[in-house]
Amino acid sequence: MPGEERTYRRWLSSDLRSFQVSVGESDLLISAERPLCSKAERALRLVRSELESYLRRDPEFARALRPREVLPEAPPIVVEMASAGRACGVGPMAAVAGAVAQEVGRALLSETRQVLVENGGDIFVHTVVPRTAAIFAGASPLSGRLGLRLSRVNNSFGLCTSSGTVGPSLSFGRADAVVIVAVSAVLADAAATSVANRIKAPSEVSAALEYAGTIPGVLGALAIVGEHLGAWGQIELVEIDRIADDREGAR
C-alpha cells in the first residue's frame, strides 16, 4: 500500500530491532532481535526472482481470480500460494503478500529467535513471548482502538488483513478489515481475501466468519464493518488506549 495507508506503521512499539527493506514493489517492515538488513534484502530479492521467473512462464497465474493449478517444476512458494488459493476458493495471487513475508521471515530465523515481517498488513510471526497487534480498519471508529493478543509462541504463524475500503488490493467486499490468524502467512492472506469478499454489509459478518471456520488451518477470524465487529476462533481482543489517543491527535 502506498503512503497514507501505511501510516499504521507509526504505531509500532517493540522490544525488537525494527528496520525496513524494499525491493521493487515490495516494502517490508521487519522486527527481529538484531538488524538483519542484508540477509533480509537477499531473501527478498530471491523470492521475488523466483516469482517473477515463474510468472514469465505462466502469466495467467498472476491474473487468475479462481484457484489455478501450477506448471511442472514450479517453485515451492508458487505451489504453496496455489494450495492456499485452492483451500480458500480464490486466485493464488491473493496470497502473494503473505507468501513473500513468510519466505523472508523463514530465511531470518536462522539468525534470530524472533521475527515479524509485515508486508502491507500481512504479517509472518515467530515470537517467544506473547505480543499485541493493533488493528487498522481505515475510517472505522474501531480502528486503532483494539489490539489482537498473540499468545501463540515458539511457532510460526500468519496474521493477515484484507479490506474493501483501504488500500489498492482487489476485494469484492466492503469490510473495513478482515483479520485472519492461520498456521501460515500464505494461508492467512488467501483466507483474509476470501472472507472479506463475502462481506458487503454488517449483516453478512456472521456468515463470513462461519465460513472462515471451515478452512483447514485457519485459527481465528475477525471482521470490522464500520462500528460493527465480529470474531470467531482463537481471537483475544484487548483495548489500546494509547494508540487510540495518538490516532485522535493525528487527525
Whether 3 has a pLDDT exceeding 80, the answer reads: no
Neighbour-count burial of 231, counting CB atoms closer than 10 A to its CB (0-12 exposed, 13-18 middle, 19+ buried): middle
Per-residue pLDDT tens for 29-64?
A: 999 999 999 999 999 999 999 999 999 999 999 999
Q: How confident is the model at residue 4 (pLDDT cuts 50, 70, 90)?
A: very low
Task: Tell me the pLDDT tens digit for each residue of 180-196.
Answer: 999 999 999 999 999 99
Q: Is the pLDDT of residue 202 over 50?
A: yes
pLDDT of residue 172: 75
Question: All 3 cell numbers of residue 107?
Answer: 530465511
Per-residue pLDDT tens digits for 125-138: 999 999 999 999 98
pLDDT > 70: what percent of the chain?
89
pLDDT band for 240, please (50, 70, 90 cuts).
confident
pLDDT of residue 6: 61
Question: Regarding the domain with residue range 3-250, which homologous superfamily does it belong to in the CATH classification?
Answer: ApbE-like domains (3.10.520.10)
Kindly state the cell numbers that stand for 8. 499504521
Among the ranges given (68-72, 103-107, 141-145, 166-170), the one the predictor scored with the smallest mean pLDDT: 166-170
Say what the pLDDT of residue 164 is.
83
Confidence check: pLDDT of 1 > 80: no
Q: How confident is residue 166, by pLDDT bands cut at 50, 70 and 90?
A: confident
Name the residue among 187, 173, 171, 177 with its Cα closest to residue 219: 187
Residue 171 pLDDT: 72
How far, rounded to the nearest angstrom, does the alpha carbon of residue 227 sit from its chain's CA centroid?
22
Give the residue with greater pLDDT, 40 vs 240: 40
Ranges of each domain in the chain: 3-250
Coil, strand, or helix at residue 94? Answer: helix
Determine the average pLDDT of the residues in 148-162: 96
